[in-house]
Every structure is written in C-alpha cells, then in structure tokens.
Amino acid sequence: MEDFLEKEFLNNTVKSYLVVLATIVVAIIIKRIVSKYVAHLLYKLVAKASKNLAKKSFSDLVVQPLNLFFVLLITFIAFEKLNFPEALDFKVYKVTVKAIIECITNGTLVVAFIWLCLRVMDFIAMIMEEKAHQTNDLSDNQLIVFFKDFFKVILVIIGVLLVLRFSFHKNIGNLLTGLSIVGAAIALATRESMENLIASFIIFFDKPFIMGDVVKVQNFVGTIEKIGLRSTRIRTESKTYITVPNKQMVDSILDNITLRTQRKVELRLELALSTSAAQLKELAPGIKSILQQYESIENYTANLIDTGKNAHIFAVEYFTSMPQEINEFNDLREEVNLAIILLLETSKIELAATNTEIKLHNVN
C-alpha cells in the first residue's frame, strides 16, 4: 500500500493527489458551514446599523458567492502544493500551459471576489433603502438606487483592472496612464453619453423631480419610475414605458405636475345672441353659487369676457386642491358641468349654434 501511495504520476505521488482531492472534498462539504459562519459574523457587524433587517435576506445575498469563493480558494491553494507536470510544459501560441492555467485561476478568483463585493453592495443598499423608507423624502430612495448602480460600475471596472494585473501581469499604473489618453478620445467620441451622465448628477442634486412625480416633458405626461445613469424611465398616462435621455430632461422645459399647488379648470361658454342682458347678469351669480357648494374648489371666477356677431362668450375658471385624486377631480368637473347645464336650462339660456339657411328657387 505504501509503495502504491509513493508511486509517481505526472511528477506527483498518488499520496499527493489524494491529499489534494481530500482537501477539495472537505472544502465542498464544509463550505456552507464556513460561509454561514462568516455571513453570521458579517451580519453581527451590520446588525447595529439596521435592527429590523432580516438575517435571511443577508444570507441569501452573501452565502452563495462566499461558497464559490471559499471552494475556489481552497482548490487553488491545494493544487499549488503539486508539482507542475513536465508533460504539460509546452507552449501554445508562444504561451506556456502553466501561464495559461495561472491566468485562468487568478481571473476566476478575481471574478468570484468581485461577485461577492457586488452582493455586499446590494446588502448595503438594502440597509440604506430600509432607512430611507422611514423618511418622507423620496429623493433618498432614488439617490440610493443611483449610487448603487454607480458603485457597481466602479467595482466592475476595478475587477477588470485586477484581472489584467493578476492574470495578464499588466502594470496597472502604466495602463491607467494609457487609459487616461484613450479615455479622453472615448469621451470625445461618446460626448452624448457623457452629457447624459453629467445630467444625471444634476438631476440628483438639483432635484427638479424625484421618483413617483408626475411630469410633463416633450408633450409626454407620465410618472417617473426610474432615474438611471444615462436616462429616465417614465410611465405615461396611456401606460406606455418611455425612455428619455437625462440631458433632454435637464435641457427641456419640464412641468412637474406633482408640485402644483392647485388644478385649474377652464370652461368657455358660447351663448346665443338671443340671450338678454338681464339673463347674462344673473348667470354669473348663479354659476358662483354652484362653485361655492364644493369645499375642494378654492378659487373661482365667472365673467362675460367677450361678445360678437356669433355669440356672447362667458368664461368660467376655478381651481381645486392638488392632493385630490384624478378620479375625484374628474367627477367634480362632471358635477359642475351638469349643474351649469341645468342652470342654463332653468334660465332658458341657449348655447350658440351655427345655423345654415338653405333657400330653394324655382327655375322656369
């Protein structure tokens, strides 16, 4: 048995292979225990910042990438104890097989580590979102979503640089110097994207609108659902989902309907010329008495504003409180319109209509 264990195969004894295999098997068996223990320690550190955060939520985010990172790390450390086989000591396209394996190994470890960092970033964002929900300022929520995406992009860029450093042995300092020159050229080529990125920062710090606001921009009216690094997503009144570049959101004339203090209703009545002055004089108090009956109507006017050869023009304007739901607002308009129509019928006032006179002539 001892002779079998000391027998060499590909420059390593059978005993060495068995030790490596046993190490990997043990790592796979205990990975969940170790990962849960590490996750528990991390949870205790962050539990002070958020007492209401469910431990299961943290475990669901962190345990899986911890499992992968732990197994990969133990596996690669175990294989480092083996001698590299001479049979594999050859080159593929002027690159040794050993260098290729090291490149793949280091790259895989970096990717697993960055994945773990991204999950931790999600967890930190979850804590901040929980705290943001405790305040009435919705801008906190959109800032968290924005910076979560922003720092994830930074982490991915760092991951790419680490892969270049440890897998391809590139000097990051020289690479960053080269990237600064290339970055300037790319910035010129992608000027529009950079403008949208800068506009996103303007939106977040100037706060012309926040998520949940109803806005009107470029003939579209809808609710802000997401503000991203490049564009803003809007759910329109017709339930379509449009994407507007952030630069256009900043440069365009934007009407934030949510910030309105009142809703305005305009009603233009074109009355028949047969309406007498006495009837017109009594119409204004009648309409005002109708508007006074509704508590949600805050300001109103009713006046004869013009007269002409076709009709007397009577204008009615009133304002309602903004917190009122749109369905309640439409119901109110309907009630007011019906009440005004009833008043016109009672006062025997007719609306102007275009009369067409047709004459028939007999031709002998």
Residues 9 and 152 in one domain: yes
pLDDT (0 to 100) of residue 179: 61
Kind and range of the H or E run holding 263: strand 262-271
Regarding whether 160 and 241 lie in a shared domain, the answer is no
Q: What is the pLDDT of residue 285?
A: 93
Of 189, 219, 246, which closes a domain?
189
Q: Which two tokens stand for residue 132?
A: 């943001």
Give 13's DSSP letter.
E
Neighbours of 294 (CB within 10 A): 15
Q: Are 232 and 216 in contact (CB under 8 A)?
A: no
What pLDDT is stored for residue 189 in this prediction?
A: 56
243 in Cβ contact with 307 (< 8 Å): no
Cβ–Cβ contacts within 10 Å for residue 320, how many?
A: 22
Please check whether residues 9 and 153 belong to one and the same domain.
yes
- Residue 158 domain-assigned? yes
The pLDDT assigned to 106 comes to 87
Domain limits for position 225 = 208-258
- Residue 126 contacts residue 54 (beta carbons within 8 Å): no
- Which pair of structure tokens corresponds to residue 15? 């005993």
> C-alpha 275: how far from its chain's center?
57
* Rounded-to-integer distance, Cα 80 and Cα 114, Å: 22
Do 151 and 21 fall within a single domain? Answer: yes
What is the value of pTM for the model shown?
A: 0.55
* Residue at 27 is within a domain: yes
Q: Which pLDDT score is estimated for 137?
A: 64
Q: Is residue 249 a part of any domain in this protein?
A: yes
358 in a structural domain: no
Note the pLDDT of residue 165: 83
Whole-number pLDDT of residue 70 = 85
Give CA torsion, residues 118, 123, 125, 128, to 10 deg.
-160
Question: What gap in Å lies between CA 113 and CA 152, rounded to an integer?
Answer: 13
Low-confidence stretches of the chain (pLDDT beneath 70): 1-3, 5, 46-56, 58, 133, 135-142, 174-190, 324, 354-364
Q: How far is it, in rounded angstroms, from Cα 153 to Cα 147?
A: 10
Packing angle of the helix pair 14-46, 97-132 (nearest 10 deg): 20
Distances (CA, A) of 70 to 26, 59, 80, 94, 324: 11, 15, 16, 33, 56
Which amino acid belongs to residue 128? M
Q: What is the pLDDT of residues 237-264, one digit of tens each?
A: 888 999 999 999 999 899 998 888 888 8
- Total domains in the fold of the chain: 3
